[in-house]
Chains A and B, each alone.
Chain A
Amino acid sequence: MKTHLLFAALLLLVLATQAARLAADAAAPPEPDLAAEAAAIGLRPAGESPDGLRLAAAPGCPQPVALATPTFDGLGAPDLRALRARGGPLKVVYLHQVTAAPHLLPLVARWAAASLRHTLGLRRAAVPRHYVVAALPPGCPALDGLDWARLSP
């Protein structure tokens, strides 16, 4: 009898938690919108390049910065290749960390760890599946000093 009650209670618990989660609004990951974040560090929108990259004019720099937001499921891979082809230094921004090269493995590891924390309730915001890559024009060392982490999704 005790076993019957225990498992009936467990079944009701699962039904209740699933119903509650279904009824609650899902927190969607933020959409990639760089305009506000880029403006915060002094970058102004400057149209698009011929290969479809977003361009931003940087203070004190004659050539624009090129920006892209590739995702972990492969979307935006051509943009990433176009950024690399420019030959200048890169800034890769994800979860408020900035690196100089878009190595996928460390990015995926950070994403997986953040997703696990979100699942366990240790991280409130949903984890974005995209990261930001900026290609800096050569000959503008002042751009290194910008707070690129503010572009973090």
Chain B
Amino acid sequence: MPSKPARTPSIFFAQRCGLAAIAAAYWGNTLRTAIHPGAGGLAAVTGGVLQNGAFCAAAWAMLAALLWRPAPAGPGRRADLALLAGACLVAAIPARQAAMLAMLLAAVHFARIGTPPARATMVLLLGLALEAAWTSAYALPLHAAWGQLDAAVVRALLGAGGIGNVVSSTPSAFSIEVLAPCASSFPLGAVALAYAVVRIFEGALPDRHDLPWLAAAWLTSAALTEGRLALMAQDPGTYHWLHEGGGVTLYTLVATAAATAFPLLAGSGRQCAAARPA
């Protein structure tokens, strides 16, 4: 069976430039929506990066590390270069949707290359593109509808009143409205990306055996969100603490720990299974 052609120095340079271009498109669009008009500077940029999510930054760091390897010698393929050039041209359109499409095209490029680092790069690019799409404005109506389910669950947990996306706490006469970014579906894209990042960091590619662990990570994330909503519905003080106070940091730490735990458990489970005598 003929082996896949190794990457040439030319294609390796092209991949580095291509990833840099797509990263510029991704972070340019991210910072444009995160930074308010008139507020620039390093603090605003840093805040924009952090607001986008630690695992997104980690994924890009891993992409840089994957491509910071010496290039092997051998023939490349013109079609692969053309695909990557097309991704760069799409990335030149200063819109978030273009950055998503550029990441998808680049993922196809790396899928065609087929080496283990290329497959890992493909998985990370797919994860970033899907996370961006999942949290884009086009998905807001879906998350808004999901928020109504969350509100129903929280009302059942608390024995509270309300209808639709509203939870009305009877003792304190305080109500919250579950909007799209507050729904438990909203962070699921980031949870999936975190799963992929941790598995690739361990040196493995996610496969179908990871699906139950990913499902568990999603369920845990949804449960954490609904627990947070239930607490926020109690009274205005708790709401503000969990929505914009110190409680945000606590919730983020717990959610990050949970998102990291499941891929680690999946990896250790595989190692134990491999170590068991046949």
Q: Does A112 contact B (CB under 8 A)?
A: yes
- Which residues of A in the span 111-153 have a Cβ within 8 Å of any Cβ on B? 112, 115-116, 119, 129
Q: Are A77 and B13 in contact (CB under 8 A)?
A: no
Closest approach, in angstroms, between the C-beta of B142 and any C-beta of chain A?
9
Bound-state CA distance A14–B17 (Å) is: 10
Assess the A14–B143 pair: CB atoms within 8 A.
Answer: no
Residue of A8, A22, A112, A115 touching B28 (CB-CB under 8 A): A22
Residue among B28, B97, B148 with max Cβ neighbours from chain A (10 Å): B28
Contact of B85 among A6, A81, A115, A119 (CB under 8 A): A6
Q: Which of these, B32, B37, B141, B179, contacts A75 with CB under 8 Å? A: B179
B88 within 8 Å of A (CB atoms): yes
Contacting residues, chain B, for A25 (C-beta < 8 A) = 37
Counting residue pairs across A and B whose Cβ atoms lie within 8 Å, the total is 112
Would you call B157 an interface residue if the criterion is a C-beta within 8 Å of the partner chain's C-beta atoms? no
* Measured CA separation A19–B93 after assembly (Å): 12
Residue A49 at the B interface, CB < 8 A? no
- Among the listed A3, A11, A17, A26, which residue makes an inter-chain contact with B10, where contact means beta carbons less than 8 Å apart? A3
B25 vs chain A, min Cβ distance (A) = 6
> Which of B21, B28, B37, B165 is in CB contact (< 8 Å) with A10?
B21
Annotate B53-82 by CB proximity to A: 1 below 8 A, 0 otherwise: 000000000000000000000000000010
Question: In the bound complex, do residue A4 and residue B92 qualify as a contact, i.e. CB atoms below 8 Å apart?
Answer: no
User: Please, which residues of chain B bring their CB within 8 A of the CB of A15?
Assistant: 21, 24
Do A11 and B24 have beta carbons less than 8 Å apart?
Answer: yes
Give the secondary structure class of A's interface. helix
Neighbouring B residues of A21 by C-beta, 8 Å: 28, 32, 94
Given contacts A7-B13, A14-B21, contact A104 B177 (CB under 8 A): no
* CB of A74 closer than 8 Å to a CB of B: yes
The complex places the Cα of A11 from the Cα of B141 at a distance, in Å, of: 35
B91 within 8 A of A: yes
Contact with A along B163-187 (1 / 0, CB 8 A): 1111000000000011111000000
B17 touches A7 (CB 8 A): yes
The 0/1 profile, CB within 8 Å of A marked 1, for residues 28-39 of chain B is: 110110000100
Known: A3-B11, A14-B21, A129-B137. 11 other contacts (CB 8 A): A4-B10, A7-B13, A7-B85, A11-B21, A11-B24, A14-B22, A14-B88, A74-B178, A75-B177, A77-B148, A104-B141
Which of B's residues lie within 8 Å of A, judged by CB? Answer: 10-11, 13-14, 17-18, 20-22, 24-25, 28-29, 31-32, 37, 81, 84-85, 88-89, 91-95, 97-98, 137-138, 140-141, 143-144, 147-148, 163-166, 177-181
A interface residue numbers (CB < 8 A to B): 3-4, 6-8, 10-11, 13-15, 17-22, 25-26, 28, 72-75, 77-78, 81, 104, 108, 112, 115-116, 119, 129
